[in-house]
Amino acid sequence: MRYAYKKQYTWNYDIAYLVGLFASDGCLINDGRHLNITSKDIEIIHSVEAILDLHVKFGIKTSNYNGWGYHLSFSNVALYDFLVGTGLTPAKSLTIGEIDVPDEFYFDFLRGEFDGDGCVRGFKDIRWANSHMFYIEFTSASPVFLQFLRDNNTRLAGTTKGAIHHGKGADTLSYAKKDSMRLAAAMYYPRPLPSLTRKRTKLFGFIKQHQTAIIVRNARVAEW
């Protein structure tokens, strides 16, 4: 322990979500105490503030790569050490690997990762009337980290292996409709949860479309 007295962090649902956010949008500075997180969604910044009971000002950060984002920077030696203990490191984009998260809290971690570097996209399936396809996707510059997500999603949620698409500078782990519904059920369960409203709303909008299409299809079959 670097200090005789400091706050200790342990795993819980909110901390697991926070680790997911830092695995995606966060940064550990090389001085061993300062951390920051940048997001285009102010709700992410407010979630970090609420979980950590932070009372510091955030600003706007611009870059040639990501454009702009809300930027929150603070000092917390105990949290820094906890994050390092999970497997996060400074300059993690290319080096991030397996995260030492207990199975009990894995899907809270995954929800944080999804809110940071994940996305959901969908479109009408022209092969069938009233049918839609949608995908949950996770993007990372680290193949080892994507394999970690892939293995744990299969082991804990029963998904298939999904598909990894190689892009310029980063790869994407993609899950089709059935697997996306499994992951949605695992990430969003009946308790108050920190989550990004716009992604949650979009995902469950696609799920509702799918369920409605099944009802309509079954009704037509019954009419026949």
Whole-angstrom distance, CA of residue 188 vs CA of residue 143: 26
Regions of the chain short of the pLDDT cut 50: 216-217, 219-223
Looking up tokens 């080892």 gives 144
> Has residue 134 been placed in a domain?
yes
User: pTM of the full predicted structure?
Assistant: 0.90
Query: For position 219, what pLDDT does the model report?
Result: 44
Q: Is residue 168 part of a domain?
A: yes
Q: Would you state the structure tokens that stand for residue 202, as one six-digit string? A: 């979009």
What is residue 211's predicted lDDT score, i.e. its pLDDT? 80
Task: Let me know whether 82 and 120 are in one domain.
Answer: no
Is 105 within a domain? no
Domain of residue 135 covers 115-223
CATH number at residue 208: 3.10.28.10
The per-residue pLDDT for 92 is 81
Q: What's the pLDDT score for residue 37?
A: 96
Structure-token match 């009990």, residue found: 104
**What ranges make up the beta strands (E) of 79-193?**
118-124, 132-140, 163-166, 171-175
User: How many structural domains compose the chain?
Assistant: 2
Whether 99 maps to a domain, the answer reads no
